[in-house]
Amino acid sequence: MNAPPHSTADWLAVEAVTLGYGRKTVVEQLSLSLARGSIGCLLGPSGCGKTTVLRALAGFEPVLGGEIHLDGTVVSSPTRHVAPEQRRIGMVFQDHALFPHLGVAANVAFGLQGHLAKAQVEARVQEMLETVGLAHAAQRYPHELSGGQQQRVALARALAPSPRLMLLDEPFSSLDVELRERLGGELRQLLKAAGTTALLVTHDQHEAFAIADEIGVMSDGRIQQWASAYQLYHQPANRFVADFVGQGAFLPGEVTDGLHVRMELGTARSDHPIRCTEHGDLCPRGCAVDVLLRPDDVVHDDDAPTRAKVLHKAFRGAEFLYTLELASGATVLSLVPSHHNHAIGEAIGIRVELDHVVAYKREGAPPLRCG
């Protein structure tokens, strides 16, 4: 399930690209597109092929099939390969890749040498350091900076030559969680302020959500869904996306008509006809499905007739994430305000509150009953 065909307005267009090493295919028939100034992300587990895509965009890997277009020009195909240094692409890596023997200003100036007059280089370096908030550290060396500051220097160096496309490979993976979230927001602001088109690669969905306009969830060399963070979370195209993005649990259910599904937690109504395959097939009456329940779909209610036993709880400050066991033995997750501090083993009242139903044909269900 790749991105839709690109239009002439797309700044970056990847069309049915296949990549591999020797006889091993790593990426197959992958397509995506980015409008000028937009930020995309390839999100997926290690080994799914996302970094290989980034290397192909940069010109470090040849394509076995398909084409890569940048600003309307083919830069990669089986018969054409524009050298990396001619693509005007900036790259930021997870290990920063700063030159330890050069100061901050000299690191940022590195990609500008030989292209601009000395005064122009100095002005551009000053502009970039002010943009990333490190003008005061121009004469320091990388080892004198924090991890977050080093990453900002790497970003300033990549932005300085005004690249046509910015590629970011797991840029914050070496940093702690709190710093990653803060820098993710800062990075998005910097890229937007510069009007830079960018593609991020990460396995961290929080990082993807904080930075990208559109996200492609990858698995086994293919994009499973290309959409906004909101759509990926609330309207996952298949089970893999549903499992990989966000937290949740599947609860068995049965479709009673086109808009209702009956579960152990009661009957839920959908605003749209229930479709239980990734191809969009409608679920007929009696269709056996698994319904995706996110933690915010399961509401703690002392007056609810359904009781669930607390198996586990994780304190998150303003709320608890409870893992709850239903009478059938099935488990669900629920986000509960932290002043509701229930003990492990305690039974609490819950009810389901779904704005829309996301269901998939139950694994092992007879094929004729659904889709």
CATH class of 10-239: alpha beta
What's residue 30's pLDDT? 95
Query: Bridge-partner residues for 335, per DSSP?
Result: 321
Between 177-194 and 147-159, two packed helices, what is the crossing angle to 10 degrees?
Answer: 20
What are the domain boundaries of the chain?
Answer: 10-239, 247-365
* pLDDT score at 282: 81
CA distance 356 to 273: 10
Are the CB atoms for 125 and 108 separated by under 8 Å?
yes
Length of the chain: 371
DSSP string across 180-200 = HHHHHHHHHHHHHHHT--EEE
pLDDT at position 368: 42
Cα 138–chain centre separation: 33
Model pLDDT, residue 284: 83
Nearest to 204 by CA among 23, 78, 36, 41: 41
pLDDT at 277: 66
Digit-coded pLDDT (tens) for 13-53: 999 999 998 889 999 999 999 999 999 999 999 889 999 99
Structure tokens at 51: 């970094």
pLDDT at res. 369: 47
Stretches where the chain sits below pLDDT 50 are 4-5, 8, 368-369, 371
Q: Which CATH architecture does the domain made up of 247-365 adopt?
A: Beta Barrel (2.40)
Taking a C-beta distance cutoff of 8 angstroms, is the pair 221, 253 a contact?
Answer: no
Q: What's the token pair of residue 347?
A: 């039974």
CA distance 142 to 144: 5
For residue 309, the surrounding DSSP H or E stretch is strand 307-315
Burial 161-177 (b: 16+ CB within 10 A, else e): bebbbbbbbbbbeebee
Q: What is the dihedral of CA 65, 70, 75, 76, to 10 degrees?
A: -20
Quote the pLDDT of residue 278: 66
pLDDT of residue 259: 83
3-state secondary structure (DSSP) of residue 86: helix
d(CA 91, CA 54): 9
- What's the CA gap between 80 and 97, in Å, rounded? 29
Of 150, 158, 191, nearest to 40 by C-alpha is: 191
